Structure formats: C-alpha cells, structure tokens
Amino acid sequence: DAGVIQSPRHEVTEMGQEVTLRCKPISGHDYLFWYRQTMMRGLELLIYFNNNVPIDDSGMPEDRFSAKMPNASFSTLKIQPSEPRDSAVYFCASSSGGFYNEQFFGPGTRLTVL
Amino acid sequence: GQQLNQSPQSMFIQEGEDVSMNCTSSSIFNTWLWYKQEPGEGPVLLIALYKAGELTSNGRLTAQFGITRKDSFLNISASIPSDVGIYFCAGRGDVYTGANSKLTFGKGITLSVRP
C-alpha cells in the first residue's frame, strides 16, 4: 500500500516567489496534518483537516501561508510570497478514525528559499 | 507554548551497546509517543504510552511513561547500525481539552552507531 506521498521532494526558490507543496494522504484516512521541521523549533503542527475541512490553523505562522484540501486525496500548502526564514522541511501526515490515532508521515519536502 | 526537552542533541555509541534517552516537560502529558526519523524520511511511530508508569516494549526498544507524567524514557538494547537516526519524543495533554490535544514534539536526539 502506498504511504503518504509528497511532492516535490526538494524545492529551491527565490525570495518573493510563490511555493506550492502537495500531499496525497493514505487512501481512506480522514485526517490530514501539515507540519514544519526546523533545527531551531523542531517539528511544529501548522494546520490539520478532518474530512477535507480545516479544523485548526493556529499553527500557521503568517497570512503568507495557506492550505487547502479540495478532496479527500489531495492537499496543498502554499507560501506566497516566500521568505528565507520559510526554509524548512515540510511534512504531511494522515491518520484514520480519530484525531488521536497514529499519524503516518510522508517523506517531506525540503524547501530552500534563497 | 509547551516544550519537550531532549538532550543531548547527539549520541554516539558502539554497536552492541545499550542506549537510554529521556524526554522531560514542565507540563503534564497523558500520552507519550516515541518516533524515529531516518534521513530523507518522515518520522515513524515506534512506541505509544497512555498510562503513567506504563512500560512498553517493541523488539529491542523499551519505553516508559514517567510516574510524574512529565517525562518518558526510551531504551534501545544491543544497538545495531540500522538504529541510526533521529529519535523524537512527543506528548499530548488531556484529550478532552482542545488546547492541549495537539502533539508537542521534542527536538530529537541524533543517534550514531559505530560498527
């Protein structure tokens, strides 16, 4: 069975550009989470969805960040405009049957903003 | 916000040795989780703990939920080269209190195993 799929795996962009990260959760999972990992702050939850509906976006750092989940098999995290401090690894995770059930993480997207 | 403390940042051990890691918090948690992250991959859940004092094993890994509910420990016995990776602890507060119900992660300990 396929796990969580994220694309691209690596993204290098220049400051001010728009960046879109993509995630396909495990089929049948009804929760989707976006995390950001940095050396300074570790792993932080940005936003999560339940049944395609955003439930808690309190971790989204600024209005430059937005996330959507148009259907059960696809989500995007967009940064516009990007800044060097947004450089990090962004993970998508999904879970099934409840918020407190095991989350399965994707391989991550390493974003570098020059 | 809540923070979990893991130290040291890095550990270097010889193959075959046992290693212990701990994770501490200033807040009480009702769930403790231990994850392993390998290069280029996302974290993978190793062990979940749900009750103070609980001791749970997964192969050569053993984790304990501290009695105070402010700490947890992970032990790896007879280490092998594939144990290399970053080990994260994560905690979750009262599942009935929305503000605390999200996972809080430690910054991780990078484990290196010398053959």
> Which tens digit of pLDDT belongs to each residue from A56-106?
999 998 899 999 999 999 999 999 999 999 999 999 999 998 777 889 999
Q: Which strands, in side-by-side order, build the sheet including B71-76?
A: B4-6, B19-25, B71-76, B61-65, B55-58
A43–B42 CB contact, under 8 Å: no
Cβ contacts of A93 on chain B, cutoff 8 Å: 42
One-letter amino acid of B54: E
Q: Is the pLDDT of residue B10 over 50?
A: yes
One-letter amino acid of A18: E
- Contact call for residues A48 and A33 (beta carbons, < 8 A): yes
* Cα dihedral across residues B103, B110, B47, B30: positive or negative: negative
Which of B72, B64, B58 is CA-nearest to residue B28? B72
Beta strand A109-113 with A10-13 is parallel
Q: Is A4 on the interface with B (CB under 8 A)?
A: yes
Q: Is B55 on the interface with A (CB under 8 A)?
A: no
Q: Is B31 on the interface with A (CB under 8 A)?
A: yes
Q: How far apart are CA B18 and CA B85, in angstroms?
A: 15
The distance of A9 to chain B (nearest Cα, Å) reads 9
Helix (H, G, I), strand (E, B) or coil at A15: coil
Q: Is the pLDDT of residue B99 over 60?
A: no
Predicted pLDDT of residue A95: 93
Q: How far apart are CA A51 and CA B101, in angstroms?
A: 18
Predicted pLDDT of residue B98: 52
Q: How far apart are CA B70 and CA B91, in angstroms?
A: 9
Please state, rounded to an integer, the average pLDDT across all residues of chain B. Answer: 91
B45–A4 CB contact, under 8 Å: no
Q: How many residues are listed for chain B in this entry?
A: 115
Q: Is B38 on the interface with A (CB under 8 A)?
A: no
Please state, rounded to an integer, the average pLDDT across all residues of chain A. Answer: 94
User: pLDDT tens digit string along B36-49?
Assistant: 999 989 999 999 99
Q: Is B1 on the interface with A (CB under 8 A)?
A: no
- Which residues make Cβ contacts (< 8 Å) with residue A75, sequence separation at least 6? A22, A23, A24, A25, A32, A34, A49, A67, A68, A69, A92
Whether the upstream peptide bond of residue A70 has omega within 30° of 0, thus cis, is no
Q: pLDDT band at residue A4, thresholds of 50, 70 and 90?
A: very high
Predicted pLDDT of residue B94: 65
Helix (H, G, I), strand (E, B) or coil at A81: coil
User: pLDDT tens digit string along A24-66?
Assistant: 999 999 999 999 999 888 899 999 999 999 999 999 988 999 9
Tell me what the mean pLDDT of segment B44-70 comes to.
95
3-state secondary structure A6-38: EECCEEEECCCCCEEEEEECCCCCCEEEEEEEE
Tell me what the mean pLDDT of segment A5-34 comes to.
97
A107–B40 CB contact, under 8 Å: yes
